[in-house]
Amino acid sequence: MSSAAMPNSTETLTLEWLQTVLQDTTISAFEVTSSRLFETTSKLYVTLSYSGDAAAEGKPTHILLKGGFNPAMFAVPGYKPILLRAYTREVDVFSKFVPTLAKDTVLQVPKVYWTGADEDNAILAMQDLANAGFVFGDPTRTYSPAAVHSGIEQLAALHAQTWGWTTVEGDVKEGAPSAASLAWLEPNIYDVTMRGLLGMWDELILGEDRPVLPAILKDSRERTSKALENYFASRNPRFRCLVHGDPHSGNTYLKNVDTENVEVRFLDWQIAHIGTAFHDLAYFMVSMLTVEERRTHELAVLDTYLAALARHGGPTLSREDPEVMTEYRKAMMTGLGWVLTPHSMQAKARVAAMVERYAAAIVDHKTIELLTETTTTTESAKGSASVQVNEVANENISA
């Protein structure tokens, strides 16, 4: 294999390629110490050896390669375009957005040594976070409100820094990047991916081994599809910014887990797009807490997020604003992503655990009804949103 060729399996990963992309000919050997090939993104954990003193020179000895290293997954009909689009988006985030972050930014992201993409693969060579002392979030478990507040701080910092970003020509605010400079964020990868997965309705919604779903989601493909399209069409431009897009618990890395000093950070930026800030907020919070804890704490979490958003330079918002509450309720629709996640992309136990939380949130906030039975941009919908959210919270607390 030539030095320029992108590896697509453990067998095609070579020393020559690593030396080339890391720009270091003193790398003398490597070993793939472990791999995770049966998730949405393949991960190869690689230990590097050097001819010199790596520690003294500050060179990494443990790296993670992320990308498409499972040819069988690419071979599944319809998967390759979806996966490659996601892998490429993460490469773009780390090559085009992350370098613009201020050195003193609150937003923390993994260290990346190299990025590359072509028509067949897209790869990140990055810090091995496990070797650095972090643990990865597990969708089959839940976390504390303290962990949620830590993650909220990170999301608020991201949103505040990119508030008002748009790829729409003629709609750019003063001081924001030009629409042309943000063209790499098109198409909206979240919308494209969701539409593609919704096309697999019979397999992913009605399949025998799929999670149990409430009737409001399962009984009408037409109604659920309409709700999703109305969500896409009605996202309020007041709340537009760069969003992570997929900040569920499984896409976190943490320190001091199960303590009040827990630190939560985000990885897997493959669905990053220009969207509504409440997409990230709702998607993250619901994934982290038990259904009961989410019902108890969600309004306090929302207040924490809004305060952090203003503190980091974003707008001052309040849940007394009916547009805020409408957007929050609509954003529960993001949970449909896990309802439509194939078991070939995520383990069955992970899917089942997440679907339970997201389906409950969609039902609690009457999100399908809001998006299909009312015009979400009318004053009546806006005016009722705050009352309905508080009613839901109060009912669940009293129960």
Residue 298's Cβ-count burial label (10 Å; 0-12, 13-18, 19+) is: buried
97-142 tens-digit pLDDT? 999 998 889 999 999 999 999 999 999 999 999 999 999 999 999 9
Q: What angle do CA 348, 117, 115 make, to 5 degrees?
A: 90
What pTM was computed for the model? 0.89
Average pLDDT over residues 345-364: 96
The per-residue pLDDT for 81 is 86
State residue 65 phi and psi, 5-degree precision.
Answer: -105, 125
pLDDT given for residue 73 in this prediction = 86
End-to-end CA distance of the chain: 63
Nearest residue to 119 via CA among 72, 87, 77, 90: 87
Residue-wise pLDDT tens digits, 324-335 = 999 999 999 999
Nearest Cα residue to 66 out of 37, 92, 95: 37
* 68 Cβ contact list (under 8 Å, min separation 6): 8, 41, 42, 74, 83, 84, 87, 120, 121, 122, 123
pLDDT at 358 over 70: yes
pLDDT value for 379: 37
**pLDDT tens, position by position, 279-292:** 999 999 999 999 99
291-311 and 348-364 helices, crossing angle to 10° = 80
Domain spanning 15-127: which CATH class is it, in words?
alpha beta
The answer to whether 51 and 26 are in contact (CB under 8 A) is: yes
CA distances to 24, 28, 281, 352 from 11, in Å = 21, 18, 40, 33
Mean pLDDT of 66-77: 90
- Lookup: tokens for 68: 């498409």
- In DSSP notation, 29-71 reads EEEEEEEE-SSSSEEEEEEEEESS-TTTTT--SEEEEEE---H
∠ CA 312-248-198, rounded to 5°? 120
Give pLDDT, residue 242. Answer: 97
* Domain residue limits, the chain: 15-127, 135-398
242-291 pLDDT, tens digit each: 999 999 999 999 999 999 999 999 999 999 999 999 999 999 999 999 99
How much is the pLDDT for 145?
96
Q: Which fold has domain 135-398?
A: Aminoglycoside 3'-phosphotransferase; Chain: A, domain 2 (3.90.1200)
Q: 266 near 247, Cβ under 8 Å?
A: yes
Q: What does the pLDDT read at residue 393?
A: 44
Torsion of CA 231, 235, 240, 241, to 10 degrees: 0
Predicted local confidence at residue 67, as pLDDT: 95
pLDDT at 174: 82
The reported pLDDT for the residue numbered 374 is 67
Q: What average pLDDT does this structure show over 45-72?
A: 92
